[in-house]
Structure 1
Amino acid sequence: MTTSSTDDVRPAPTPVNETDALAPEPDRPGAVSWPAVAAALAVVLALAYLTKYLDKNVPEWLADTSLARIAKSVEYPVYAIAIGLLGNLVLTATGVRDRLASAFRTEFFIKTGLVLLGVSINLSLLVTAAGPAIVQALLLISGVFLFAWWIGGRLGLDDRLRALLASAVSICGVSAAIAAAGAVRARREQLAYAASLVILFALPSIFLLPWLADVLGLGDAVAGAWIGGNIDTTAAVTAAGALAGEDALRIATIVKVTQNALIGVVAVALTAYFAYRVERRTDAARPRPVELWHRFPKFVLGFVAASIIGTVYANSVPAAENTATQAVAANFRTWFLILAFVSIGLEFRLTALREAGWRPIAVFASATVANILLALALAAVLFRGFTV
């Protein structure tokens, strides 16, 4: 890799030190500004309330117009993301977005929403779907990761950025990129490139894949497995699954949670590879088995626990009482997901993509196409005839 251009996002070939490498937010003194957190939370809550308001009233406002059918088909993920993007533009124009950006908590909102989703998923569905979901996850992650790593090398990307992009596109977007960044000691700007690409490609997928699933006549299980295996972020998977239908959402969530569970495995593998092969430093810290637990996404355990609790509760109370409880859990889930989708729009950064140049975009786009095709093929084979 001897070429250089304005599009090349490789870091300077100097040793990575603590100021250059990505460090977890809590490790940096003063990283959390509580006034910024409070202000950001107020913004997200206000936009979430606006989302809920529009979701409830727009169909009524347009009931007697030619747009009535469209208004009924547009659901809260569409409003939430669109409002988040508009809020992003306003905050950027007023110059306050950068002060609030570190306090937007998409990951927290989506993980809480998914744990609540687990309450509505019967344990029997979780158990029966786990087998094909694991097979799909292993084949899909391996194939797409290796393809993205290969094409990134062909285009001369820095190994650390290759690791971030390959992890993000093959596993679960920003979460995987963050885990990979810690494992390979990536630079903060490289994580910004990867995160922005994830959001850029996830947004159209939210609407495109449910539409294509309908056009192709895919069953709920196949559509859900395709959405869960293909879209990079858990939040976007949930949004697309909600548009595809409740049954498709359940399968999509199980498939995505299965892939999320492999973040730890990939992160530890990258840690070992970079320590022993890429950095080739004799004093490099050796990866320990406990790292697997540190990297493991703990919300997966919450999702499974919620499913177990929900199943036991449903089998031990009258149906009417269970329905009422499920409705309460679903309402809380909806609010947390709205907060997450609003935050997706607020976190999008177009400047990071412009700074990255065309090479990371070409790698991510190529891997996304490969991911779409491979995920569709695997979903069609593994979930054919599967009943939700």
Structure 2
Amino acid sequence: MTDVRSVATEGDAEAPQNASDAAPSGFSAGWLIAGVAVVVALSAGVHLLTEQVPVWAKGTAFGQIAKSIEFPVYAILLGLVGNAVLSATGLRERLMPGFRTEFFIKTGLVLLGASINIAVVARAAGPAVAQAAVLISAVFLFTWWVAGRFGLDDRLRALLSAAVSICGVSAAIAAAGAVKAKKEDLAYTASLVIIFALPSIFLLPWAAGVLGLSPAVTGAWIGGNIDTTAAVTAAGTLAGEQPLQIATIVKVTQNALLGVAAVLLTVYFAYKVERGEGQARPSLRAFWDRFPKFVLGFIAASLIATVYSQFAPAATSKATIGIVNDLRTWFLIFAFVSIGLEFKVTTLKKSGWRPIAVFALATVANLVIGLTLAVLFFSHFTF
């Protein structure tokens, strides 16, 4: 586990300039434990809301929407509520060491690797890999260019570009570690992903029906354009069993490219952006020190899960991966609650409307490019 004070700076563009950004002088192990306890308690509330709100809303006008709301929404909201309460009581700064955002996020992403079977990606190959590679490259570069035209900071540009082009919040998290982005920028990007993903769950299956798309093209469009895996699953389910299969394969392929994107961003920022900011050319050791090592854990987890699934009985393998997925969900809930608890509204105000405009334009481009590629690569696909 990293040093307590490093949590305040790891992933930020620069070290804190005042004491309020680091661990308070009165820090003790007791406050760390208390902070973790706050995160766990709020996370239990998130789990309760995620499970029960659809049940409570069943049969109401809100029922269908309630089933589509993902845990990051509740986690960030409860984190922000906890933030306000703890700030009002003067306890927030003392409890900050327990809000282990970096640790929770990276652990969750390593566990995510276990759900991505490399054999499945290999079998998909062909159209899924081609679509993912072209779509990610085109949308990333377009978003990067638009964000530059709007004058956004390079680190926020990287987060927005990765989120839109690859796999939403998970990609933004990986990019944040690679480019040392601010936590406020990560929270902002995560919020945009959720806001844009929720309506897509309903709009894309409807639009596919209106356009008369085949099941394979529908699935490829959904999998390539909706930013979160859970939202892709929800939209694919609405579209039908065959679209769901293709959507899942395409999304898994994009997820598998997450590590590649993190490495490329690390190289670019180490040798281009930071040198342009007057920093010395980094040594190989410095490059290794800042390399997002959780990516190696992500790949290792995927390899281990793939080998395990080949030798273990199907029922046992499924049950084991299910447990890992549950743990992943809990760690990501902890992470999003912590983001809400750590969030400072001043940075969000400084960002203004420009990131929203960039994300909206990039989403439109993603839809158009994604549909074109889906038709190109999957129009002749047969089940």
Tell me the TM-score normalized by structure 2: 0.69
CA distance in 2, matches of 1:331, 1:108: 18
Change (3 A) 1:111 1:270: same
**Residue 93 (str. 1) matches residue 103 (str. 2):** no
CA contact (8 A) 1:173 1:198 kept: yes
Shift of 1:270: 3.6
Letter in 2 for 1:155: F
Q: Name the structure 1 match of 2:298.
A: 300
Moved more, 300-309 or 151-160: 151-160
2:369 alignment partner, one of 350, 356, 374: 374
CA distance in 2, matches of 1:97, 1:231: 35
**Residue 201 (str. 1) matches residue 192 (str. 2):** yes
Shift of 1:357: 2.6
Q: Deviations over 1:51-85 (max 9, x none)?
A: 4445555666667xx3399379726x635632541
2:100 alignment partner, one of 103, 114, 119: 103
CA distance in 2, matches of 1:35, 1:271: 38
Shift of 1:97: 4.9
Q: Which runs of 5+ in 2 are unaligned?
A: 1-9, 238-243
Which is richer in helix? 2
Q: Secondary structure at the match of 1:261?
A: helix
Shift of 1:354: 1.0
Letter in 2 for 1:128: R
CA contact (8 A) 1:107 1:340 kept: yes
CA distance in 2, matches of 1:212, 1:60: 23
Moved more, 95-104 or 140-149: 95-104
CA contact (8 A) 2:162 2:175 kept: yes
Aligned 1:223-302 pairs, distance under 5 A: 225-226=220-221, 229-230=224-225, 237-244=228-235, 245=237, 247=245, 248-249=247-248, 251-274=250-273, 278-279=276-277, 284-285=281-282, 294-295=291-292, 297-302=295-300
Tell me the TM-score normalized by structure 1: 0.68
Shift of 1:42: 2.7
How many residue pairs match? The answer is: 341
Q: Name the structure 1 match of 2:350.
A: 355
CA distance in 1, matches of 2:197, 2:136: 20
Q: Name the structure 1 match of 2:73.
A: 81
Report the RMSD for the aligned CA atoms in angstroms. 4.3
Q: Name the structure 2 match of 1:7.
A: none
Q: Which runs of 5+ in 1 are unaligned?
A: 1-17, 182-189
CA distance in 2, matches of 1:341, 1:89: 15
**Residue 191 (str. 1) matches residue 182 (str. 2):** yes
Change (3 A) 1:69 1:42: same
CA distance in 2, matches of 1:361, 1:158: 14
Aligned 1:336-351 pairs, distance under 5 A: 336-341=328-333, 343-344=335-336, 346-348=338-340, 349=343, 350-351=345-346
CA distance in 2, matches of 1:358, 1:81: 21
Change (3 A) 1:149 1:48: closer
Q: Secondary structure at the match of 2:282?
A: coil
Q: Deviations over 1:244-263 (max 9, x none)?
A: 44744454233222234322
**Residue 177 (str. 1) matches residue 176 (str. 2):** yes
Letter in 1 for 2:234: L
CA distance in 2, matches of 1:224, 1:334: 26
